[in-house]
Structure formats: C-alpha cells, structure tokens
Chain A
Amino acid sequence: MNLRAKSLLKIAVILFIAFFLAYTLAFGVKIGPYQVLPLKKAIKLGLDLQGGIYVLLEAKPKPGQTISEEKMNAAREVIWKRVDQLGVAEPVVVRQGENRIRVELPGVKDSQKALEIIGKTASLEFIGPDQKVILTGDDVSDARALYDNLNNPVVSLKLNSQGTKKFAEATEKFLGKPIAIVLDGEVISAPVVKSVISNGEAVIEGLSSIDEAAQLAALIRGGALPIDLEQREVRSVGPTLGTDSLIKSLRAGIIGIILVMAFMLVYYRIPGLVADIALAFYIMLVLITFVALDATLTLPGIAGFILSVGMAVDANVLIFERFKEELRSGKTLRAALDAGFHRAFTTIIDSNLTTIIAGIVLFYFGTGPIKGFAVTLILGNIISLFTAIVVTRILLGNLINTRLITNKKFFSA
C-alpha cells in the first residue's frame, strides 16, 4: 500500500470512530451481554436539572448534650429510614464533617412535606399525670395510620414486649386519669385511661387528617433522632424549572458549539474543518468520561463545559497561527505543519498546566457545585490537549499526505 492509500485509510478510520462514538452516545449499543446506555439515560443529572431537594442538617445539641460519632451515625440511619418511606429514587444521605448530614432527594415534588419529615426530631413520649415518662418511641415496634370507629384519623401503635409491660402497668396505675402523648415537646393528645391495656396496643388521636396520621406513623416507625438537627441550607428546585434549565442550557450550548465550529471553519478552512472534527471528539470524550466517572451534571457544570468548548479550540488556534507563520516563511505544507505543532507545543502545555493547577485548587477547596465545576474544568483541559494535539495532527498530517488538497489557500495561508 502506498503512502496516499495508507493516509486515506487512517483518515477513514478516525472518521469511523467519530461516527461510532456519536451513534453510541445517541442510541446506545448492545454487544452480546454488554450494553452501553445512550447518553440521555446514562448521565446523572444534578438536583438543579431534574428537580429535587438538597438539605444540609447540623446537629444542635441541647444544653449538656454532646455530639458523638455514634449519635451522628444513628441520626443518619434514622433519616435514611424516613427518606426510604418517602419513596425517593436514588436518595443521598451522607455525613459531612463532624456534625452535619447532607440529604439529597432527586425528583421530590412536595418539598415542604419532605422537609418536615426529614428534620423532625420525632421524639415520642407518653407522659403520666405525675410528669414521669412512661413510654418512648423506642418501645414502639410498629405504627400505622388508619381511621377509628368514628371515622377519625388515628395512629395505631404496636408496642414491643417491654413497652407492653410498661404500658399495662401505667394504665393500671393511672386508670381514669389522662396520659399525655407528646411529640417533640408538643402534646398531640391526652386521652383519659378507660381500661387497663395489656395487649400492647395504643392509639394516638387528635390528628387533623389521614395524611398527618400517615406522616406521624412514618416518623414513629423511623424512630427518633438521637440529637436535634437544624436545617442550615435548603435548596429545592421544582421539576419544571429543572427541565426548563436543562433544555435551555442544552439549546444554548448547541448554538454556542455551532458558532464556534462555524468560526473555525470560515477562518481556518481545511485546518478549521479538522479542528471541528477534533472538537466533536472533545465533546464526546468529555461526555463519556463524565458517565464513566459517574459524575453528576449540574447547571454550572454545563456552563463550564460549554465554556471549555470555546477554550478547547485554543490549542488549535495556537497551532494554526504558527502553521500559517511557517507557511508564509515559505515552508512546504508538511514542513510547516511539523514546525507549527512543534513550536506551539510548549506554549500549549504551559498554558494548560497553569489552568489545571487552578482547577485542582478549586477542586480541593470548593464544595458542592464548585467541585463539580472544577471537575469539568480539569477534565476539559486534559481531554482538549489530546484532541487538539493528537487528533488534529493525525488528521491534518494524513490529509496533506494524500495530496488531495495542495493549494495553500485552503490552509488559510
């Protein structure tokens, strides 16, 4: 095979890879037992793009109470159970620092209700007329919301064996007297004991709706928090706004990318076209890496990505400007290309490394959305180095080898 044929083949292979990647991202592929999902399904969207709630809770110890590792872990468990009851897909409940818990609930519609459930301490107490605690939430094995005989919403409690015993003793002792049922210091109801209850069943009355009863039952089932938690930061985005942001930013991104590509094509012609192919590689590789790292795409993340598209062509601009300088000095296409790449190389490395340094610092010291942004910045830089240098060089070099286009004008010189 001669050089021309070889070069054509190489160009064809690269273009094939580009189309294969594009097809995979758009529709997914299935090879035997292995399956690659299309991008739409594979990429994880942040709360700002799909709607949901983000809550940062901080432990607020009562006077004399201390925060311990165990209490925080137990609190995390309790919240996890409650979130589970909300039926949220892929919730996040993690500890952050010494005294904080971060909760992320994607797709939650009723944010108000979710917030009420998450943050409540839910310490349930049965208090006798002597102000002594008879039962606590720990004595309850199950709680259900239902309607009583009079069609009033109630929570029916099933006590464990220890609770059953304590409750039987108390109802005997306080027969004819009221027992207050208290949640987080607030009396929900104070029924008068009519008979000794030894079957371990108790009922909470005085609820306004079956929804309230269901919520209370869920809280009791999940157990009380071992420590009070305060909401330090709450961010909730409705699903419509999230979808709206996603569609708008994607549309803006596509237009931005088209503008950048058009500019490169018009200004640099053949090299510009090659840069556009490299840019397509860049975009696809960043998206693939994103999925591979299981990174979450947020709104600032998309912005960073779109910005990086504009910056990604920088390496190509540097190379092409050098290339033009060399062509003007009378070099052949091939020689000018090699010299252009060679001389632009150190500049590209130096300039990108400094940006990456800034990105790494951002990643280390930033939190939440800033971290996500830093990831896009760093990834974008590294990948653009590859596409703008390697992909462009192979394509352009082989294109010159084919001698299909020899007029320097097409190379914008």
Chain B
Amino acid sequence: MKKYAFMERKWLWISISLIVIASGLFSLATRGLNWGVDFTGGDILHFDIGEPYSLAEARQKIESLGLKNVEIKEAGDNREELIVRTPVLSQDQKNKLTQTIKERWPKAQLIRAEKVDAIIGKELQRQALIALLIANFGVLLYVAFRFEFKSGIAAILALVHDVLVMISFYSIFYIPVDVTFVAAILTVVGYSINDTIVIFDRIRENQRIMGKAKFDDIANTSITQCLTRSINTSLTTLLSIISLYFLGGETIKDFTLALIVGIVSGVYSTIFIATPIWSMLRGQHKAVRA
C-alpha cells in the first residue's frame, strides 16, 4: 500500500494554519468580531416586505428616523425580506420604524422581532467561555487517561486551532456572532475530537505493530490507513450540513456556515496539526524509548 509522506511537510501544514489564524488575529485586533445582538444587546426586526424593494431606499427611510448604528440586509428566497439590526430601541422607536416601513410598503409584515439586553449577552459570553474551557479540559483528561498525556496535548491544540480558525473566519468576513455560533463551536469541538481520536487510536495500534519505527513513520502509516475513512466521514457530514445551508432558510444560514467552516477545519487539524504535533512531542523522547 502506498504511504503518503504527510509528516515530511509538517511545517508547511502548520504554516498554512498559522497564516490563516494570524490573519484572523490581525482582523480580530483591528476590527474585532461582529458581535450580534445576543451579545451586545439590541433589536432585530425581520420584515417580509411582500414585494421587491430597494435596499438603499429602506436604508434611507430607516436612517431618516435618526437611528444610529443600524445595519440592514436583504434576506429570503426572492430577496423580499429585510432584516434590520439596531442597538436597543424603545417601544416607541420600534413602533415608528415598523410604521415607516409599512407606510412605504403596505404589504410589509413584521415576521420576527428580537430584543436582547446587553446584560444577557455578557452572561452568555461568560457561560460560553466556561463551557468551552471545561469541555477542553474534559477531553484532555479523557485522552490523557485513555491514551497518553502528549496525545491529549496534541488533541487540545487541534481543538484550539479549530476554534481559532472559526473565530478568524467570522472576523475576516465580519459575520454576526450570536448564540448559535457558540453552539456551532462546541459542536465542532465534539466533531473534531472524534476525528482526532480515530487517528490516535490507529497510532496506538500501529505503535504496537511497528515496534521501533520512527514516530513520523507511524504517523504517516496511520493517517494513510485512516484517510479514506476521514474523507468519507467528512463528506457525509458535509453533504448533510451543506444541503441545510442552501435550503434551510435564512435564520439558520449563519449557524450552518459556522459548522461547515469548523468541520473542514476539524478534518484538517486532525491530519495536519494534531498528528504532526504528536509526532514532534514524542520525537523528543525517542532516545528514551529506543
């Protein structure tokens, strides 16, 4: 069986990730994340205009009300929906906005309205962070217990990688981050660790079979053996989630996008991050083993 030389180019793989993450961090430092109303507090008003309309005109109408920091965007299959995002509005302001839209486009209907207080967002942020830290710690413990501590470290670094890639993607493309993004990150953590463990499992097995072979060799063999599985599983997962992205409707688009990015990153990090790092960590102690 042909064996692919993944480990020989490990610095290339790691560099690719570092470049992505570095540009993400740069974007994060310069303009940050596009925090959605779930975190910053604010209002979302989602209208079904009921006929074709001009986004520019809608913007002008809304701005004429003297509202600041308003973001508006088109939505829906026929681009006949309008989503308005604002800082927290008073009931009066909200009524005025709705009225203005309805006066211009009489068929318009408010089909979704959300209001979140900034306090709730702060709590959510904290909760999400705690959840993420604890989930990582739990995974580290499990992997350290079932495999070895170094595998745990490599697995965690791969997870951190996936989270950073997702955050980078969201910062670079300035996609609103709301509560479902948190769910997406945690799902990806679950998926990615699953993927990594499959390889580590194979490595563990091959260590027994291959005896004193180099760690890079063991890693290459293991990845090659698991490659079809890695591709097939990510393919089936992506098939299901991509159909949801294209057909699932507006409200779920951001969520499925986050999942797609995360899953791709998760597959990449298993092969190109977790395994090389494991090999490097083990390689330092080769003398002891041999």
B158-198 vs A: 1/0 string, CB under 8 Å? 00000000000000000000011011001101110111011
As a 0/1 sequence over residues 45 to 75 of chain B, the CB contacts with chain A under 8 angstroms (1 = contact) are 0101000000000000000000000000000
Q: Does B289 contact A (CB under 8 A)?
A: no
**Chain A residues in 8 Å Cβ range of B226:** 321
| B12 sits at the interface (CB 8 A) | no
Most B C-beta atoms less than 10 A away, residue of A244, A311, A366:
A311
A300 at interface by CB-CB < 8 Å = yes
Could you jot down 11 A-B contacts, CB within 8 Å?
A234-B115, A235-B112, A235-B114, A245-B251, A248-B248, A256-B240, A299-B251, A303-B252, A303-B255, A346-B201, A362-B186
How many Å lie between the Cα of A317 and that of B232 in the bound state?
A: 7
Kindly state whether residue A149 has any CB partner on chain B within 8 Å.
no
Give min CB distance, A374 to chain B, whole Å. 8
Q: Is the CB of A377 within 8 A of B241?
A: no
User: Quick check: which of B13-21, B126-134, B212-220, B277-285 contacts chain A, the rest being far away?
Assistant: B126-134
Q: Write out the residue numbers on chain A whose beta carbons fall within 8 Å of the beta carbon of B229.
A: 314, 317-318, 321
A267 at the interface (CB under 8 A from B): yes
**B46 nearest CB across to chain A (Å):** 7
Whether A199 sits at the interface, judged by CB under 8 Å, is no
A240 and B186: CB pair below 8 A?
no
B190 & A359 in contact (Cβ 8 Å cutoff): yes
Task: Say whether A255 contacts B243, CB under 8 Å.
Answer: yes
**Residues of chain B having any CB pair with chain A under 8 Å:** 46, 48, 109-117, 119-120, 124, 127-128, 130-131, 134-135, 138-139, 142-143, 146, 179-180, 182-183, 186-187, 189-191, 193-195, 197-198, 201-202, 205, 225-226, 228-229, 232-233, 235-244, 246-249, 251-252, 255-256, 259
Asked if B183 and A373 make an inter-chain contact with CB atoms under 8 angstroms apart, the answer reads: yes
**When the two chains form their complex, are residues A369 and B180 in contact, meaning their CB atoms are under 8 A apart?**
yes
Given contacts A249-B252, A355-B190, whether A241 and B112 have CB atoms under 8 Å apart is yes
CB of A69 within 8 A of chain B? Answer: no
Cβ–Cβ contact A260 & B111, under 8 A: no
The reply on A365 being an interface residue by CB < 8 A is yes
Q: Hey, what's the 0/1 contact readout for A13-56 against B, CB within 8 Å counting as 1?
A: 00000000000000000000000000000000000100000001
Q: A192–B283 Cα gap in the complex (Å)? A: 94
- A306-B241, A318-B233, A355-B191 given; 11 more Cβ-contact pairs under 8 Å: A235-B112, A235-B113, A241-B112, A256-B241, A310-B237, A311-B194, A351-B194, A354-B142, A354-B193, A358-B139, A362-B183
Chain A positions within 8 Å of B, measured between CB atoms, are 48, 56, 111, 230-238, 240-241, 244-245, 248-249, 251-253, 255-257, 259-260, 263-264, 267, 299-300, 303-304, 306-307, 309-311, 313-314, 317-318, 321, 325, 343, 346-347, 350-355, 357-362, 364-370, 373-374, 377
Which secondary structure dominates chain A's binding surface?
Answer: helix
Known contacts A248-B249, A307-B187; A357/B114 CB under 8 A: no
For residue A108, give the distance in angstroms from its CB to the closest CB of chain B.
12
Q: Tell me which residues across on chain B come within 8 A of A255, comparing CB atoms.
A: 243, 247
A304 and B187 contact, CB distance less than 8 A: yes
User: Using Cβ atoms and an 8 Å threshold, which residues of chain B touch A257?
Assistant: 240
CB distance from B187 to the nearest CB of A (A): 7
Is there contact, CB below 8 Å, between B238 and A365? Answer: no
Distance in angstroms from B125 CB to nearest chain A CB is 12
A260-B240 CB under 8 A given contacts A237-B112, A238-B112:
yes
Complex CA gap A357/B138 in Å reads 7
Whose C-beta in chain B lies nearest to the C-beta of A307?
B241
Complex Cα distance, B246 from A56, in Å, reads: 32
Alpha-carbon separation in the docked complex, A234 to B244 (Å): 26
* Nearest Cβ on chain B to A143's Cβ, whole angstroms: 24
Q: Which of B111, B187, B246 contacts A238 (CB 8 A)?
A: B111
Which residues of the other chain, B, contact A354 by a CB distance below 8 angstroms?
A: 139, 142-143, 190, 193-194, 197
